[in-house]
Homo-oligomer: A and B are copies of this chain.
């Protein structure tokens, strides 16, 4: 079984009109996703934005908690933030992972032709020597050129109704739980 990594894309992503835009990095997103990665054994979460100032702010945040007073005050948070790596582009991420030739898995709030279910992917990952890179689009999601570069796309998360506007932070937690959560532990007896 290879490593499992995530990439959260801030550019290029779609806005509500379907135009390609850049979204802002968000402090809580970094903390929440880092803690989810720790909980579910994800190797690294890449936060991707081409904007220098955004990367500088994110790096400063991560450094604050990883060292100095932040680390002393809350070591669990420091440990989780070791999971975060700030990158300029998806190309930079895949270049770093290139030795492991990662399988690209997209995510979407819509069902796609190459959709794959959670249990199918959960069975596949431990059987493959390659690493996996799960891609998440902020804003209104990943643009077609990224979706089409993915080998498969995870099925959208469905609740009992029609509404499917989960926050990305929460959706990432749910997806990791469906793939790697300890379901045997999920019963008291």
Contacts and interface: CB of A to CB of B under 8 A. Distances in A.
Copies in the complex: 2
Contacts of A145: none
Contact of A155 (B116, B166, B186): B186
Interface stretch (A36-44, A91-99, A127-135): A36-44
Contact of A161 (B38, B77, B155): B38
A174 B31 CA distance: 17
A98 B158 CA distance: 31
Nearest to A28: B28
A18 interface: no
Interface in A64-107: 76-77, 79-80
A185 B158 contact: yes
Contacts of A186: 117-119, 155, 158, 178
A188 B123 CA distance: 14
A157 B169 contact: no
A149 interface: no
7 contacts: A32-B170, A36-B166, A41-B161, A115-B188, A119-B187, A167-B173, A170-B172
Interface of A: 26, 28, 31-32, 35-36, 38-41, 76-77, 79-80, 115-120, 155, 157-161, 163-167, 169-174, 176-178, 180-182, 185-189
Nearest 6 pairs of A and B residues by beta carbon: A117-B187, A170-B173, A39-B159, A158-B182, A32-B167, A158-B185
